């Protein structure tokens, strides 16, 4: 088996570079039989140079195909370097390849160019100490490029601690070196270094995975959260904090009752208890309070349990998806279907009523005309006629609600209609209630039936008077404004099926009366629904049907103790179309 000696003269290379001409073959020999490598290094003639680097490859007993372990020795003592090599050459288990440097600067350059597996570093070097060398070898990186064993003839436990903190894999006093200890120390140092590298790679991969997970969680448009087994929030993404208005500390002490709509609290906790008891996914639709405006919006909430290997639930991972628009669209569709059904019923009933009324009123009229004016039956017949006329009004209201009434639609000024309607009932409004009328300047005209529109305004104002009460002081505000209605609002503002986005005139009637709860609000436009002891419950239903039948919409906003606002939206007439209609 042969061995090769190479001498590298440092000469005067440029800083940080190794000139290829500085490497030359100086000897070639054969090893003696028995496997021991020839340890003799023939003397060479040295040029003027600042340092000598030697590389020698020694073959020892090893598994075929194993690469030698590359060892860089940085020590200014030539005898110490030879001793280290001798200790390593005598190892029967590993093969080594060496590079030598007698100064820190030369060793640093060699480490960069040669890329050793392990560096034997003397602490006391002529140009800098070993701790400084470790800093230069790191070269701004997080760790050293290879395993490093610090060697020193002097120093104690304090120096060892400094070396290990600086990144050294091991620390050995020179007096403890032996042919058995040094190879094992180097191999152990390399294994620890490689293990540390694998740990750092795994930590980097884990950190990258966590960043990706965090980025994904923040990119999801839903609110994402995790909670402990007791349901308390442990983590939430940015959307959750923005919606709830809480910070991380506030979320840690949060109870869901603070967010839940009071009407949804009980059924939510029942569903949560069932999920915990069965260990299944928690899923519910409920309303959560939004911090920006205090409103409650519908959310689909899902949470899956995270378990230990024994099946015990340790935490929950959940999402909150806002479904407010979906809920409103479903309610609008359901309301539309309900109105159509009730409308068909009301229209059929009103049609039959009209047929019967013709007979009743006609018969009463004929009887009145055929009998003398002094006949006792005349008074009864007049009562029958008046009842029939009231029934005819009721029938017209039912037809109006059903959208089957005949409307005489033409351009009209809503502000003028408001004044006319309010003036007609001003004497009926108690003195303790103040009526305010405000109209925006230069209002566009709307296409509507003048008589029905006046009656709608009257019904809204009288409804506000009843909400305040005849003996209670209050205020009713009636004002008009111009608004723009977008595509997304058409399905949520109580519009009829023919409504389109565009410019609308808004007629708002606001009172500070008793207000309505949600159940009452949902039924306020139902025919024959009333909260009064005496009443037919058709005025608001007829108004709603009339407005929808002419392409408009009605909104209602009310809470108990905070009054009520009815908002009638009527499509504005474009100026050029109005002009054409006025001058055919």
Nearest CA to 163 out of 193, 121, 199 is that of 121
Q: What would the pLDDT profile of 309-341 be if each residue is shown by its tens digit?
A: 888 888 899 999 999 888 888 877 777 777 677
Given this model, what pLDDT does residue 48 score?
32
Q: What is the pLDDT of residue 582?
A: 40
3-class SS of residue 376: coil
The model's pLDDT over 206-249, given as tens digits with 9 standing for 90+, comes to: 988 888 888 887 888 888 888 888 777 888 888 888 888 877 66
pLDDT at position 398: 66
Residue 242 is predicted with a pLDDT of 87
Q: What are phi and psi of 76, to 5 degrees?
A: -80, -5
pLDDT computed for residue 267 by the predictor: 92
Burial (CB count <10 Å: 0-12, 13-18, 19+), residue 62: middle
Closest C-alpha among 453, 446, 455 to residue 413: 446
Element (H, E) at 268: helix 265-278
**Single pTM value for the model:** 0.49
pLDDT value of residue 45: 34
The CA-atom distances, in angstroms, between 529 and each of 447, 457, 519, 525 are 29, 19, 12, 8
Over its length of 584 residues, how does the chain's per-residue pLDDT go in tens digits?
333 333 333 333 333 333 333 333 222 233 333 333 333 333 333 333 333 334 443 333 333 346 899 999 999 999 999 999 999 998 888 999 999 999 999 999 999 999 999 999 999 999 999 999 999 998 888 789 999 999 988 767 888 888 889 889 999 988 888 888 899 999 999 999 999 989 988 988 998 888 888 888 788 888 888 888 877 788 888 888 888 887 766 665 556 778 889 889 999 989 988 998 888 899 999 999 998 888 899 999 999 999 888 888 888 999 999 998 888 888 777 777 776 776 677 667 767 777 777 888 888 888 888 888 888 888 888 888 888 777 776 676 666 666 666 677 888 899 889 998 898 888 888 888 999 998 878 889 998 888 888 888 988 999 899 889 888 889 999 999 998 888 767 766 667 666 788 889 999 999 998 888 888 888 888 777 777 644 555 678 778 878 887 788 888 999 888 899 999 999 888 754 444 334 33
pLDDT given at position 322: 92
**How far apart are the C-alpha atoms of 198 and 175, rounded to whole Å?**
33
Distance in angstroms (rounded) separating the CA atoms of residues 225 and 244:
12
pLDDT score for 63: 37
Question: What is residue 372's predicted lDDT score, i.e. its pLDDT?
Answer: 87
């Amino acid at each position: 088996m042969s061995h090769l000696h190479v001498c590298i003269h440092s000469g005067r290379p440029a800083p940080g570079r190794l000139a290829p001409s500085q490497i030359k073959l100086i000897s070639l020999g054969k090893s003696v039989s028995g496997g021991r490598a020839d340890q003799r290094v023939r003397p060479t003639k040295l040029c003027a140079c600042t340092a000598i680097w030697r590389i020698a490859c020694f073959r020892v007993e090893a598994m075929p195909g194993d690469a030698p372990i590359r060892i860089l020795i940085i020590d200014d003592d030539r005898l110490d370097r030879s001793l280290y090599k001798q200790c390593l050459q005598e190892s029967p288990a590993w093969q080594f390849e060496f590079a030598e440097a007698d100064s820190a600067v030369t060793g640093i350059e060699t480490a960069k160019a040669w890329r050793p597996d392990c560096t034997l570093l003397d602490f006391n070097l002529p140009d800098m100490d070993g701790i400084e060398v470790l800093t230069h070898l790191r070269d701004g990186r997080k760790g050293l490029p290879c395993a490093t064993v610090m060697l020193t003839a002097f120093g104690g436990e304090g120096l060892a601690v400094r070396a290990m903190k600086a990144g050294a894999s091991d620390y050995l006093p020179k007096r403890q070196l032996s042919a058995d200890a040094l190879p094992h120390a180097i191999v152990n140092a390399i294994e620890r270094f490689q293990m540390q590298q694998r740990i750092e790679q795994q930590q980097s991969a884990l950190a990258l995975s966590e960043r990706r997970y965090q980025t994904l969680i923040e990119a999801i448009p839903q609110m994402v959260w995790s909670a402990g087994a007791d349901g308390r929030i442990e983590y939430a993404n940015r959307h959750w904090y923005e919606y709830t208005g809480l910070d991380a500390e506030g979320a840690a002490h949060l109870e869901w009752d603070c967010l839940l709509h009071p009407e949804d609290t009980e059924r939510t906790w029942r569903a949560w208890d069932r999920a915990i008891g069965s260990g299944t996914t928690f899923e519910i639709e409920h309303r959560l309070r939004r911090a920006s405006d205090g409103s409650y919006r519908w959310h689909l909430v899902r949470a899956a349990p995270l378990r230990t290997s024994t099946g015990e639930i340790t935490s929950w991972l959940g999402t909150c998806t806002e479904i407010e628009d979906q809920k409103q669209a479903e309610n609008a569709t359901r309301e539309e279907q309900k109105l159509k059904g009730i409308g068909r019923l009301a229209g059929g009933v009103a049609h039959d009523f009209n047929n019967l009324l013709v007979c009743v009123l006609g018969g009463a009229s004929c009887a009145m005309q055929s009998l003398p004016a002094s006949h006792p039956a005349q008074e009864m017949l007049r009562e029958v006629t008046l009842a029939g006329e009231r029934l005819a009004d009721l029938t017209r209201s039912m037809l109006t609600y059903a959208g089957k009434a005949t409307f005489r639609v033409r351009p009209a000024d809503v502000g003028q209609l408001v004044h006319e309607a309010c003036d007609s009932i001003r004497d009926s409004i108690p003195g303790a209630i103040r009526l305010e009328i405000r109209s925006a300047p230069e209002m566009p005209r709307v296409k509507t039936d003048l008589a029905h529109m006046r009656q709608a305004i009257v019904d809204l104002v009288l409804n506000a008077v009843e909400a305040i009460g005849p003996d209670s002081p209050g205020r009713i505000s009636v004002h008009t404004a111009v608004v723009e209605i977008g595509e997304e609002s058409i399905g949520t503002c109580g519009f009829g099926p023919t409504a389109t986005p565009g410019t609308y005139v808004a007629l708002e009637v606001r009172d500070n009366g008793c207000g309505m709860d949600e159940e009452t609000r949902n039924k306020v436009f139902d025919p024959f629904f009333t909260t009064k002891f005496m009443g037919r419950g058709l005025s608001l239903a007829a108004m709603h049907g009339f407005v929808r039948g002419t392409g408009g919409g009605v909104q209602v906003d009310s809470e108990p103790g905070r009054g009520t606002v009815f908002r009638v939206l009527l499509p504005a007439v474009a100026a050029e179309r109005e002009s054409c209609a006025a001058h055919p």
